A = this chain, B = another copy of it.
Amino acid sequence: MDTRVPNIVVGRLPIYLRSLEHLAEQGHGIISSHQLAALLGTSAAQIRKDLSHFGEFGKQGTGYHIPYLIVQLKRILKADQEWEVALVGVGDIGHALLRNRDLPRRGFRIVAAFDSDRDKVGTRFGQVTVHELEQLAQVIQGQGIQLAIVAVPPAAAQTVTDALVAAGIRGVLNYSPIAVSVPDHVRLQQIDPVTHLQHMTYYG
């Protein structure tokens, strides 16, 4: 049980959690590190070592009680609470994210959306109304929103990210196919299908 957990280990926990939740939905109750490793294409030793950073969650001779491990992983990842998310950019990707039921199901609720297009401002998606970009700081600070998804065209991504950071956002998930920079105290994750595809074509 370390005090300082490697970032790469933290990044694997959500993958374990996702798989365990899927197993639970299918009615599985217990799983061994070897079974989970086979399912995920990783190694049993790695799973046990990763989990050992946080405590002892299994039982010798048996394995892991899936619902219990889910509870523990959710607690560790702070996924046992609901997170409010701001969305900037209501184009095709933003639209897909607003309609995505998996995000709220797993604890991430888009509670505010922003777009620079006046025609989109005022439109509603479920509970969410699209605001002007000018209201970004006010809404984010007013609601204490800590996470944001950037889904704007590349040319606007850094400006929008800077505005989010200035508004107090703690983590940014960037869908724009461009590297944005954030200060050290802000977390950044990037989603770009092309980089994933290029990683595969290398081996092609």
Binding site for B on A (CB under 8 A): 10-11, 13-15, 17-19, 22, 39-41, 76-79, 83, 85, 91-93, 95-97, 99-100, 102-103, 106-108, 146-147, 149, 154, 170-171, 173, 177-179, 181, 187, 189, 191-204
Which B residues touch A92, using CB under 8 A? 95-96, 99-100
Which B residues touch A96, using CB under 8 A? 91-93, 95-96
Q: Tell me whether B39 and A170 are in contact (CB under 8 A).
A: no
Q: Tell me whether B103 and A39 are in contact (CB under 8 A).
A: no
Given contacts A22-B154, A189-B197, 12 further A-B contacts (CB under 8 A): A10-B199, A76-B202, A77-B198, A77-B201, A91-B96, A108-B193, A108-B197, A149-B193, A171-B200, A171-B203, A189-B196, A191-B193
Which B residues touch A91, using CB under 8 A? 96
Distance in angstroms from A23 CB to nearest chain B CB is: 10
Residue of B nearest to A173 (CB): B196
Residue of B nearest to A198 (CB): B14
8 interchain residue pairs of minimum CB distance? A171-B200, A92-B96, A14-B195, A14-B198, A189-B196, A187-B200, A78-B201, A106-B194
Which B residues touch A93, using CB under 8 A? 96, 100
